Structure 1
Amino acid sequence: MSDSQMTNTTDAAQNNAPTDTPETRRDTPRNGAPGTPAPSAAPSSDKPLAWLDGEGLHFDDAKTLAAVRRKPVSATMISGLVDRCPAQYLFSDKLKDLVIPVTPQDARIRGIVFHRACELYYARPDARRGAPIDPEAFEECKTKALEEHPEVRDDPEASAWLEAASRRFCAMGPEATDVTVAGYRDDRGRQSPALEMKVTGRLDGVGRRVFGAIDRLITPNPDNPRNVVIDDYKTGGKACVYSDRMRFPDFSYQRQQTLYSMLLEGDTRTFSDGWHLLGGRLIYPMAEYVTLHDDNAGTDVKVSVQGQGAIIRLDVRNPEYRRRTLDDAAKASDALDRESETNLFEYRPSVLCAWCPLAKICPAARIGSKENAQKAFADQPDAQTLAPAIVRA
C-alpha cells in the first residue's frame, strides 16, 4: 500500500454484518439535536404500520409510505436498496426506532456524539483552535456534546469509549487534526464553516434528487479555497483500502465520497463553477489495523497501525468509480420509485440475515449454522417486540 492510500494515523472496513452507525444514518435530514435520530415513539394505534408476507415488506400507514415516496437518494439508501435488502433498509429507516430502544452503547449514538464534538471544535476560529490541536479545547467541546446527549454522559461504558476516541483523535497528528476548514454559503446565503455540510442536487441519469451530509470540507491551500478535500470521520476499529479484488469488496465508502464529490462540483452556492475536488479521506481514530489487498500474493492482508488510528485516502475523480456510483444511484432511485408505487419492498436474503432485526419474523431469512450467526440471530427482537410496528402476515 502506498502513502497516497494510507498514512499511519486509517476505518473503512466495515463488518460484514449490517449495522446502524452514524455513517449509515446521518445522511437523512432529521429534527432535534444535531445528528440525533428521530425520537422513538410508539405507534398511535393498535394497528401495525407495516407487515411482511412471502414477497416482502408492505406499509399499512399512508403517512409513512408518503414519506418514503418523498425520500431523496443518499449513500445510505444506495447501500440499502442496491447492496443489501430493501425490506431491512426500509424497516431500519422508518420503523426500527419505534420498537427497538436506542441505548448509549449503540455505535450510532456514540458516533453521533463524537461527530458533534469535532463539529464544535472545528467551528471555532483558527486563533481559538490553535495548531497543533488543543486537547483541552477539544475536551470542552466533548463536554458540550455530552450535555446535548446526557444518556451517553451518564453511561460509564459509552462515556469511556468517547474519552478514548477523543484522546486518540487528538493524538493522530497534524495531518488529521490541524486543518483549514473551507467556508461555504448555505441556502440562506450565510457564510459558514463547511462542517456537517448539507449538499443536494441532481446527477445525470438519477431520477430523484441526491442528498449528502459532509463531516468536514478542508482546503489544503487557503489561497485557493475552491480546491477542497472531503473528510469523513469513521469511529469503527477496522479500516480498509478498497479494492475490487478483495475477498469481500465493500464499495460503500468509496461510493459515498464519490457521490459527495459530484454533488459539490454542481453546488454553485459558494463558487459559480462549483467546487474542485482534490480527493477524499476517511479518518479512523479507533482503527487497530488496516485491511488491504496484496496483488502480488493475491490475498487480503491486515496491517497493524499500533493504536495510532489511520487515514484512508480516496480517489474521488476515478472515472470508473464515478460511472459505477452514478449507476448505483440510478438503480436506487428507480427501485424506490417502483417499490414505493407497488408498496412492496422486496427481500434480498443473504448470509447476513442473522444480523437483521427482522430475522425472527422474516419468511425469507437465511440463518447460517455458524456460531456467530446463531448468536446474532438469538440477539434479534422477537415478534412481540416488533408487533407495534410490523408483523408477519
Structure 2
Amino acid sequence: MVSTLTRQGLHLDAADLGKVRRSALSASTARALTHNCAAGYAFGKLTGETAPDPFAATTQGTAVHAVLEELYNLPAGKRTRRRAANILLSMVAQWRHDKYPQLNDPVTRQLFIADVIGKYQGIFEIEDPRDTDVVATEWPLAGIELGGVPFIGYVDVTQRVTARGRTGLRPVDHKTSNRIPDKRKLELYGDDHGDQIRLYAAGLRKIQDEPVIEGRINYTRHGKSRIVAVSVKRVAQTVGEFARAWDIHNGMVEQAMFPTKTGPLCGWCPLVQLCPAAQATKFNTDRTDSQTALCATDLIAIDPAAPSREAGVSPTSTVSPGEPGKSTNQAWEGLIMAEHVLAEDKPWEEIVGGKLNGASYAATGYFGISSLAYELLGRHDVPIQRIAVDAMTNVLAAIVTDVQDGLSGSTSFQEGTNTRLRGVLRTVLESVPPPFGEDASTWETWIKMTTGHTRSIAAAAVRLAGTDDITPDLDTLASIAPLRKKD
C-alpha cells in the first residue's frame, strides 16, 4: 500500500503511519490535530526537514527564541539591547557555516539580521530583562501526563513574580506572530496561545511545589504582552481539551487516515496544488510565491477523484447581485456558503473543530441578536439589506457586551449574563426605538442612552439579588405618578 491523499484525507500505509504517530503530544500538535488540517500536519511529518530558508517564518522564529534564551541566561545586569545584538551576530557567524549557507552572501546576511532584530526587539518595550527574576529558560516538561496524556513542552522563560499579593512562578512564551489575536477572535476561535500557557502551568504544577500564579505571552514583534489566567478551573478545562485531542489522534491512527480540512490557510500549504479537497474549494490559490508549493511529490500518491465542476464554475463560488440565473434574494443575502460553517455538539461547547457549534449558548445569542436587528429594520420600514442587518446587529451586540463587561468582566456570548442582557435590551427597545433616518450624532446619543437604560435595569436586578428582605415599599409606590402630556 502507498499512502494516498484523497478529498477526505491522507490515508497512510504502515511505514508512514509510524512516522506520523505521536508517543506524546505538545500544545501545538494538539491544536493542529483538532483545529487545523490533520492531513497537512501528517504530510509535514513525512517530509521532515526541508531545504533551509533563512527568511521562513519558522526559521526566524527559531532565531528569535535562540537569542532570547541566550539573553535571559545571562546575569541580570547584562541583559541589554547591545548584548542581544551581539548574541545574534555571533549566532549568524556560526549559522552561515552550517545551518544557513545563504547567509554567506553579505546582503542576505544583513537582511536576515534586520528581520530577526525586528522580531525580538519588542521585548525591551514589554519589560526590562535586567529586572526579571529568571528561574529557568527552556524548562523541559517531559515524562509527565496531563489528563492521562503523555505531554511534552518547553517553557521559553519561567519567571518568579509577585502579583495580587502572592509570589510564585510565571511561565512565559515568546511569539513572533504577524498579528496579535483580538478579544473577539479569542472568544470565537479559541485561545491556542493561552491554552499553551495553561498546559505549561499544569506541567509545572506536576513537577514542583512552588505555586504557578499566572502566565504571560510576549508578542515580541509588537512590543506587547498579555497575562494568561491559570486558575485551577481554567487549566482543567484546557487539559480536558488536550485529552480530547489525544483521543482524536488515536482515532486517526486507528483508521490510518488523517482528515483534510479546508480554509484560508490552504493557500500556504505545500499540497495546495495537489490536494483534491483544496482544489474543490475557493481556497485553491497558491499563496506561497512558489517557495514551497508542490506540483508533484513522490512521498504520497494523489487520488484526484472529486465531483466535477460544471461549466468551469467553482462549486464554492458565491453569487453576486444581479448574476444571471440567480434570484435577487439569494444574491443580496450572500448565503451560498463555500463550506459548512457550523458544527453540532453539546451546548456548553462553543467551538468544535474550529467551527461555531450551532447548538451552543453562544450561537443562540448570535442568531438571536441578528434576528432582533432584522426585526427592528422591518418594524421601522427600513429596507432589509445585508449592510443594514450587519450594522444593526453590531450595534446591538456592542450595547449588550458593553454592559456585560461591566458586570462580569467578559463579553462572551456563551455566558448566561449575556443571555439575561439580551432580554433586557428587548425591553429597552420598546421604550427607546432606534433613530432610523437620523444622523450619526443622533445615533451616538441613542447608543449611550440605550446602553444606560440596559445598565440601569441590570443594576436593579443585581440589587434585588443582594436584598435579604424583599417587601413592597408602599410609600415609594404611592409617590410614583405617570408623566402627563401637556395640552
TM-score (normalizing by structure 2)? 0.54
2:197 to 227, 243, 257: 257
Match of 2:218 in 1: 283
CA distance in 2, matches of 1:181, 1:95: 37
The one-letter code sitting in structure 2 at the alignment partner of 1:281 is R
Residue 107 and residue 378 in structure 1: after superposition, are their counterparts in 2 closer, same or farther (change >3 A)?
closer
1:1-393 aligned within 5 A: 50-60=3-13, 62=15, 64-92=16-44, 94-97=45-48, 100-126=50-76, 129=78, 133-150=79-96, 151=100, 153-154=103-104, 155-156=108-109, 157-166=111-120, 168-169=121-122, 171-172=124-125, 174-175=127-128, 178-182=131-135, 194-200=136-142, 201-204=144-147, 206=148, 208-220=149-161, 227-243=168-184, 246=187, 248-268=188-208, 273=209, 275-287=210-222, 309-317=223-231, 319=233, 321-365=234-278, 369=282, 374=285, 376=287, 379=290, 381-384=293-296, 387-393=297-303
Higher relative CO (Cα under 8 Å, sequence separation at least 6) belongs to 1
CA distance in 1, matches of 2:259, 2:81: 48
Report SS of the residue matched to 1:113: helix
Report SS of the residue matched to 1:229: strand
Residue 280 and residue 177 in structure 1: after superposition, are their counterparts in 2 closer, same or farther (change >3 A)?
farther
Structure 1 ranges of 4+ moved more than 6 A: none
CA distance in 1, matches of 2:203, 2:123: 30
CA distance in 2, matches of 1:365, 1:81: 18
The answer to whether the 8 Å contact 1:354/1:368 transfers is: no
CA distance in 1, matches of 2:258, 2:51: 24
Residue 367 and residue 389 in structure 1: after superposition, are their counterparts in 2 closer, same or farther (change >3 A)?
same
Residue 277 and residue 84 in structure 1: after superposition, are their counterparts in 2 closer, same or farther (change >3 A)?
same
Cα distance per residue 1:190-223 (max 9 Å; x no partner):
xxxx11111031122x4x30111110001125xx
CA distance in 2, matches of 1:330, 1:267: 19
CA distance in 1, matches of 2:103, 2:168: 38
Residue 231 and residue 344 in structure 1: after superposition, are their counterparts in 2 closer, same or farther (change >3 A)?
same
Structure 1 gap ranges (5+): 1-46, 183-193, 288-308
When you count strand as a share of all residues, which structure comes out higher? 1
Please tell me whether Structure 1 or Structure 2 has the larger radius of gyration of its CA atoms: 2
Q: Report how far residue 179 of structure 1 moved.
A: 0.7
Structure 2 gap ranges (5+): 304-487
CA distance in 1, matches of 2:124, 2:130: 9
When you count helix as a share of all residues, which structure comes out higher? 2
Residue 281 and residue 332 in structure 1: after superposition, are their counterparts in 2 closer, same or farther (change >3 A)?
same
Residue 153 and residue 351 in structure 1: after superposition, are their counterparts in 2 closer, same or farther (change >3 A)?
closer
The answer to whether the 8 Å contact 2:76/2:129 transfers is: no
The one-letter code sitting in structure 1 at the alignment partner of 2:220 is P
Cα distance per residue 1:307-334 (max 9 Å; x no partner):
xx11111112262x33431232112111
Residue 377 and residue 172 in structure 1: after superposition, are their counterparts in 2 closer, same or farther (change >3 A)?
closer
The answer to whether the 8 Å contact 1:383/1:391 transfers is: no
The one-letter code sitting in structure 2 at the alignment partner of 1:376 is R
Q: Report how far residue 250 of structure 1 moved.
A: 3.8
Question: What CA RMSD, in Å, does the superposition of the two structures yield over aligned residues?
Answer: 3.0
The one-letter code sitting in structure 2 at the alignment partner of 1:163 is I
CA distance in 2, matches of 1:323, 1:170: 30
The answer to whether the 8 Å contact 1:117/1:144 transfers is: no
Q: Report how far residue 161 of structure 1 moved.
A: 0.4
Q: Report how far residue 280 of structure 1 moved.
A: 1.2
The one-letter code sitting in structure 1 at the alignment partner of 2:200 is Y
CA distance in 2, matches of 1:378, 1:146: 26
Report SS of the residue matched to 2:134: coil
CA distance in 1, matches of 2:220, 2:7: 43
Report SS of the residue matched to 1:120: helix
The one-letter code sitting in structure 2 at the alignment partner of 1:135 is R
CA distance in 1, matches of 2:126, 2:33: 38
CA distance in 2, matches of 1:261, 1:389: 38
Match of 1:39 in 2: none
CA distance in 1, matches of 2:126, 2:58: 25
Report SS of the residue matched to 1:278: coil
CA distance in 2, matches of 1:366, 1:85: 14
CA distance in 2, matches of 1:86, 1:364: 13
Report SS of the residue matched to 2:146: coil
Cα distance per residue 1:48-76 (max 9 Å; x no partner):
7x3213432133362x4224334311111
Cα distance per residue 1:274-295 (max 9 Å; x no partner):
x4112111112212xxxxxxxx
Cα distance per residue 1:120-157 (max 9 Å; x no partner):
11112335x2xxx4222222222233234222744343
Q: How many residues are paired up?
A: 292
TM-score (normalizing by structure 1)? 0.66
